[in-house]
């Protein structure tokens, strides 16, 4: 089993969906990612929170075996984000983004983190993603993610991150935004052309599933069919957590195994959206995941 080093946001969110409104709930890309990935493999966590971050989440991370030596708690307020979903749950308006303690954060990696075989650069300022990338020794696999907030503000820095990544995981609309293409397939081709180190690109399309390509082969997977989605926040990070966790568990980075990792990522995301915030990721186990893997197989075989 390989170890995953993750850097990303740690947040306190206010979320409104057609199912209700919750305030000051735990969130952040690295929190969702690590709770999801820890179902499959060992996670070394790098992030920062203020003294207002709930202690029970730190305890939950410990019970999941997540190494939190790189999780700093500093005087001040945790990153804050607030979003409101439209009735279709596909689109959301960001109402607030406050960097708070992230503004002066310089990641300090514990020495033993530097040998992590897999590095996951979750959604956060690309400068911080690059800082981490510059501090690790020689990872076998670098996977990165980002979002519109950073594409709007520091696009050239994101390209620098993707140029140093093996796999780029991104939303279809954000990929189009980055490349200037209006079609996500053309956008994927463009990204693979421009970033020659990329071995694969994985495009998240919400309820329409996942598209992945390595430039030679293409793969489409529907989303796991759910009758009800309560809160899509963190679905992309949970998907990335299940995806990366499976690659770490198997140590196989071939495109054939990337396809399987998409299935595990998709199942993990389906748990996340069942409830508000990280609640959907609290209680599920590998047996549940395996039985859903079989359901997925039946659904997509013809
Ligand atoms: P997702 O739904 O996958 O986009 O992830 C939502 C999570 O990302 C929320 O819990 C937020 O706290 C966090 N988030 C929102 N905006 C940003 C940002 N600009 N940088 C880093 N994390 C963010």
Distance, in Å, from the CA atom of 235 to the CA atom of 277, rounded to the nearest integer, reads: 10
* Cα 224 to ligand 1 centre (Å): 22
* Cα 301 to ligand 1 centre (Å): 34
Distance, in Å, from the CA atom of 97 to the CA atom of 31, rounded to the nearest integer, reads: 17
The pick from 6, 10, 11, 94 for probing ligand 1's pocket by mutation, whose C-beta has the most ligand atoms within 8 angstroms, reads 11
pLDDT tens-digit readout, 14-35: 999 999 999 999 999 999 999 9
Q: Is 27 in the pocket of ligand 1 (CB under 6 A)?
A: yes
In sign, the C-alpha dihedral spanning 72, 77, 78, 79 is: negative
* Cα 217 to ligand 1 centre (Å): 31
pLDDT tens-digit readout, 41-56: 999 999 999 999 999 9
Give the number of the atom of ligand 1 that is nearest the alpha carbon of residue 123.
21
Q: Environment class of residue 234 by beta-carbon count within 10 Å: exposed (0-12), middle (13-18) or buried (19+)?
A: buried
Distance, in Å, from the CA atom of 162 to the CA atom of 21, rounded to the nearest integer, reads: 35
pLDDT tens-digit readout, 96-122: 999 999 999 999 999 999 999 999 999
- Give the residue-averaged pLDDT of 156-160: 96
Q: Is 237 in the pocket of ligand 1 (CB under 6 A)?
A: yes
């Amino acid at each position: 089993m390989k170890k995953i080093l993750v850097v990303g946001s740690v947040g306190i969110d206010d979320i409104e969906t057609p199912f209700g409104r919750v305030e000051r709930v735990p969130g952040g890309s690295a929190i969702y990612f690590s709770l999801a990935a820890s179902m499959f493999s060992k996670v070394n966590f790098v992030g920062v929170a203020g003294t207002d971050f709930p202690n029970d989440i730190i305890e939950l991370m410990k019970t999941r075996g997540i190494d939190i030596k790189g999780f700093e708690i500093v005087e001040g307020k945790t990153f804050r984000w607030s979003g409101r979903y439209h009735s279709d749950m596909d689109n959301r308006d960001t109402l607030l983004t406050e960097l708070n303690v992230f503004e002066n954060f310089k990641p300090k990696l514990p020495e033993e983190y530097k040998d992590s075989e897999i590095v996951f650069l979750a959604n956060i300022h690309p400068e911080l993603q690059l800082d981490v990338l510059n501090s690790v020794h020689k990872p076998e696999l670098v996977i990165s993610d980002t979002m519109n907030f950073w594409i709007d503000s520091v696009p050239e820095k994101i390209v620098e991150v993707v140029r140093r990544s093996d796999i780029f995981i991104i939303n279809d609309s954000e990929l189009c935004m980055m490349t200037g293409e209006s079609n996500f397939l053309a956008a994927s081709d463009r990204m693979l052309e421009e970033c020659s180190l990329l071995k694969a690109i994985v495009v998240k399309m919400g309820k329409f599933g996942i598209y992945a390509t390595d430039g030679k082969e293409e793969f489409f997977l529907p989303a796991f069919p759910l009758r009800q989605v309560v809160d899509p926040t963190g679905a992309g990070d949970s998907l990335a957590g299940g995806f990366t966790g499976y690659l770490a568990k198997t140590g196989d980075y071939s495109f054939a195994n990337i396809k399987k990792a998409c299935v595990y990522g998709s199942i993990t995301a389906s748990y996340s959206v069942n409830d508000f915030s990280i609640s959907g990721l609290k209680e599920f186990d590998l047996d549940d995941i395996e039985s859903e893997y079989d359901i997925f197989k039946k659904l997509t075989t013809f």
